[in-house]
Amino acid sequence: MYKKFTLSNGIKVVMEHIPYINSISMGVWILSGSRYENEVVNGVSHFIEHLMFKGTTNRTAKQIAEQIEELGGQINAFTGKEATCYYVKLLDEHYKVGIDVLSDMILNPKFSDEDIHKEKGVIIEEIKMYDDSPEDLVMDILSKSTWGKDSLAYPILGYENNIKDLKSKQIKEYFNKTYAPENIVISIAGNFNSLVIEEELERKFSHLKSGGINKAEFTSPNINRNVMVKNKDIEQTHVAFSLKGIELGNDKLYTLLAINNYFGGGTSSKLFQKIREEKGYVYTIYSFPTVYKNVGTFNIYFALNEMFLDSAMELILEEFNNIIKFKMTDEEIKKAKEQLKGNYILGLESTSSRMFGLGKAELMLGEVHEPKEILDKIDQIKRDDIEEVIDLVFRDGILSAASVGRNINEDKLQSLIWRKS
């Protein structure tokens, strides 16, 4: 059973007590990410995530890491387009240390000019590292191709020039407005005493005051019909597509996840078996839904020798036509649902996975479903649901695309994508 409550300053807390384990995972979630940024400060959310580990008014950067790791625990963070999360995993007996370190980071970051200067260099190196990873790079380009000038197109890391130009004042202003109680959810999963945890959270986090900003407004962008390419001297050609998808919180997402398992989500899927196993055109090919608060896409990614691009595209478009025409058999639907349930249940064995699920659901949707509710939603997927979502996703074909590789011809790629899709 989940328990939800609100601290005196407005921070929401969602917890799941799991009495048969000896660990606890805790996360502090903030409505902070590249989707809330503008062109001038793009990258600031991720920059702040880095700075939070550089020290507080009470701890050095080394002490933040040391006080968790010396207990055998883990501490880390990530920034996405819609949320930032700081999290720890510890033995349950050390819960107070976890709460103390996380609250200190959120309430008392140092943000020294020296650290800001140093971290600019670190993040610029991170941007260069991603630029050297074609799979990451092509997905960033796909975001631009798909969303155009909307903030969903912004890279999470920002651009090198943005990072160089970020001023201390801009960083602190963004932090003060964003890291406010109304934008924060704390999620906890593991073995703990609810009353004790509630008291400790209130004691440590209630001092955080409102930054004077309400929860961010979400845009409702349309998917562009667009192709973008980047020529880069690498051995393979990397290609990614966007089709229509389902937004976060829509129950049709479970149906799309089942379809994804069948179509391209794993090594037994149609795309992998046909294009990798039967033809040997690619090493990697997979599909996946990308979901945001009020919009979503269905994506496909693959990498191959450029000489096989025409043949691989022909087969991918053939599979589009097949799924539109033949949909899925009853046996295929049953298998896809069982795979989806199995993946979900196995994920429940990790307190970290449970904590992540709780925090994201509460932060983005304001509601959390019990595991039985999720499994019931999957069980209730019917043939009509499958056929409706297949038509929604595949009927209009590929809407936007991106490619990274050597001497890519943009016009040729467009003709390959849209000749039959």
Closest CA to 238 of 368, 135, 115, 88: 135
Determine the Cα–Cα distance for residues 47 and 171; give it in Å rounded to an integer.
8
DSSP 3-state of 180: coil
DSSP 3-state of 365: helix
Closest CA to 92 of 21, 30, 143: 21
Closest CA to 400 of 228, 154, 263, 231: 228
Q: Please say if 69 is a catalytic residue.
A: no
10 Å CB burial of residue 79 (0-12, 13-18, 19+) is buried
Determine the Cα–Cα distance for residues 329 and 303; give it in Å rounded to an integer.
29
Among residues 16, 37, 39, 49, which one is catalytic? Answer: 49
Specify the DSSP element, H or E, that contains 116: helix 113-131
Specify the DSSP element, H or E, that contains 123: helix 113-131
Pure H helices in 232-284: 252-263, 270-271
Sign, CA torsion 195/201/202/204: positive
Provide the annotated active-site residues: 49
